[in-house]
Amino acid sequence: MKHAPAWISSTAFLMLSGCMVGPKYTRPSVPLTPAFKEPGPDSFKEMAGWKTAQPGDQAIRGKWWELFEDHQLNGLEEAVDSANQTLKQAEANFRAARAAIRVSRAHQAPAITAGPSVGAERESPNEPYFNKAGAVNGVGNFTLPFDLNYEVDLWGRVRRSVTYAVEQAQASAADMETARLSLHSELAVDYFDLRSADAQEKLLAETVTAYQDALQLTQDRYDGGAAPESDVTQARTQLQAAQVAETDVAVQRAGYEHAIAVLTGRPPANLNLAAVPLTIQPPVLPQVPGALPSQLLERRPDIAAEERRMAAANEQIGIAQAAFYPTLSLSAVAGFAGTSPLNWLTWPSRMWAVGPTLSQTLFDHGLRHANSEIARSNYEATVAAYRQSALTGFQEVEDNLAALRELEIEARQQHEATASADRSLELFRTRYEGGVDTYLQVITWQTAALQNARNDIDIMRRRLEANILLIKALGGGWNVSDLPQLSALR
């Protein structure tokens, strides 16, 4: 073994001088515009935070739901990270992807195995020996070998496999953050839907009471001969329709409460949320800071996940190309081999063998070319998925900016329409009581007033939902720098 230092030096040189075949990854471009088309609502323009994004601007931070200043919502959101089962599944997938890095990295080091064996073999003396003197009764084997196998990474296949695993783990981490953002957003939407249902229930309960009074009024007038029976039937029908609507809202509220329970990791039977109507405790409409389209590529975890998968697919091209080149492997075996336990582990029983193996596929009927084409096609598919994800992100921001702007205008218009409908109902009720108009006018304006009041509540719900979806579309405070780096993935 006096030449061992030279052999080790040669091996190290081969390991360090290996080249990398395949394309170098460069993130493809995405169609961008200097700014978003939709300017957003007037309330955003008036705030200092809504402007072309600049360094140091106010940004959405991790617990973005706190912008709504609702303590009950904050408490529910805190339970998502620790209890939601969908998020736990995403976290488990990330841990598996992180472990896959260690699997790939294991091929960067030699594999050493040991296979001790003890055996005996007896041969028949009646076998057709050419020289009967050579006949033996048998032999015993006692071996303790240690095998070493190592693939020299001449063409970067192993290194690209490690990089591929790292990028897949980063994509899995981004998937986990996408799931987290979606779950928190879904909870916030369900919560405000529930509070909207509370407001609708309150409105309808008050309406049922008013309609009961109206029915009693028409009944009294009918009993006194001042009104026809049709007034009574119309009032009763109006009351029953309001009761049906109240029951329907109760069904919707139960569904929202059950959804919130599951999102926070609880059976629906274990969660009971007290009614807090939007009209009694109006939520804060947050002022969401803006962003540039280019910044959206860094802020959204779903776009980051697609970008990391694109980088991983690029590594697969290099791995496929490495198959066209020879593979150099180093193999060694050393240990002891004896004929009995007495001489098994003695120095004369030592044995060893070492040497490189160079292998090259000469003919595979197009297998490597097909694998290379598959890798390139998969990469092109991930490029398209990345660009589509970015375009979808731009669309979601534009949609919700437009929705917030138009809903702000619609809310003002609806407030005025509701006030007008209430005033008209009051006037026609007075005229009916004075015998000037028929009860049909009262029914008409009761319906109009109720519908306008319900629209008021629904527009508030939609404005809250659009704020939540805008925050989600902007990444919810996440940034690509939050992706775990190589040192954190080991």
Q: Is the pLDDT of residue 301 over 70?
A: yes
Summarised one tens digit per residue, pLDDT across range 329-352 is 889 898 888 888 888 888 988 888
Q: If you average pLDDT over every residue of the chain, what do you get?
A: 87
Which amino acid, one-letter code, is at 266?
R
Q: Is the pLDDT of residue 132 over 60?
A: no
Which amino acid, one-letter code, is at 409?
I
pLDDT at 18: 61
pLDDT at 306: 94
- Indicate the pTM of the whole model: 0.85
Q: Is the pLDDT of residue 432 over 80?
A: yes
Terminal Cα-to-Cα distance of the chain (whole angstroms): 36
Which amino acid, one-letter code, is at 130?
F
CA distance 380 to 138: 64
Q: Is the pLDDT of residue 202 over 90?
A: yes
pLDDT band at 50 (very low <50, low <70, confident <90, very high): very low
Domain residue limits, the chain: 19-108+155-325+367-489, 110-152+327-359
Q: Is the pLDDT of residue 357 over 80?
A: yes
pLDDT band at 422 (very low <50, low <70, confident <90, very high): very high
pLDDT band at 38 (very low <50, low <70, confident <90, very high): confident
Stretch 266-282: mean pLDDT? 92
pLDDT at 405: 92
Summarised one tens digit per residue, pLDDT across range 359-381 is 888 998 999 999 999 999 999 99
Q: Buried b vs exposed e over 309-318: b needs ≥16 C-beta within 10 Å?
A: bbbbbbbbbb
Q: Is the pLDDT of residue 428 over 60?
A: yes
How does strand 350-359 pair with strand 327-338?
Answer: antiparallel
Q: Is the pLDDT of residue 478 over 50?
A: yes
Stronger pLDDT, 483 or 58, i.e. the higher one:
483
Q: Is the pLDDT of residue 56 over 60?
A: no
Q: Is the pLDDT of residue 12 over 60?
A: no
Stretch 443-455: mean pLDDT? 95
Q: Which residues pair with 30 in a beta bridge?
A: none
Q: Which residues pair with 357 in a beta bridge?
A: 329
The residues near 409 (Cβ < 8 Å, ≥ 6 apart) are none
Summarised one tens digit per residue, pLDDT across range 141-169 is 888 888 989 888 888 898 899 989 999 99
From 133-142, 169-178, 402-411, the region with the lowest mean pLDDT: 133-142
pLDDT band at 124 (very low <50, low <70, confident <90, very high): low
Stretch 109-131: mean pLDDT? 75
Span 19-108+155-325+367-489: which CATH code?
A: 1.20.1600.10
Share of the chain above pLDDT 90, in %: 56
Which strand (E) or helix (H) includes residue 138?
strand 138-152
Q: Is the pLDDT of residue 47 over 50?
A: no
Q: Is the pLDDT of residue 299 over 50?
A: yes
The residues near 203 (Cβ < 8 Å, ≥ 6 apart) are 279, 450, 453, 454, 457
pLDDT at 153: 84
CA distance 379 to 136: 64
Q: Are 29 and 329 in contact, with CB atoms under 8 Å apart?
A: no
Q: Buried b vs exposed e over 225-238: b needs ≥16 C-beta within 10 Å?
A: eebeeebbebbbeb
Share of the chain above pLDDT 70, in %: 88
Stretch 298-319: mean pLDDT? 93
Strands (DSSP E) along 303-349, which ranges? 327-338
pLDDT at 136: 59
Question: How is domain 110-152+327-359 classified at the CATH fold level?
Answer: Outer membrane efflux proteins (OEP) (2.20.200)
Summarised one tens digit per residue, pLDDT across range 170-186 is 999 999 999 999 999 99
pLDDT at 6: 47
pLDDT at 479: 85
* CA 136 centroid distance within chain: 71
pLDDT at 107: 87
Q: Is the pLDDT of residue 16 over 50?
A: no
Stretch 192-215: mean pLDDT? 96
Strands (DSSP E) along 252-387, which ranges? 327-338, 350-359
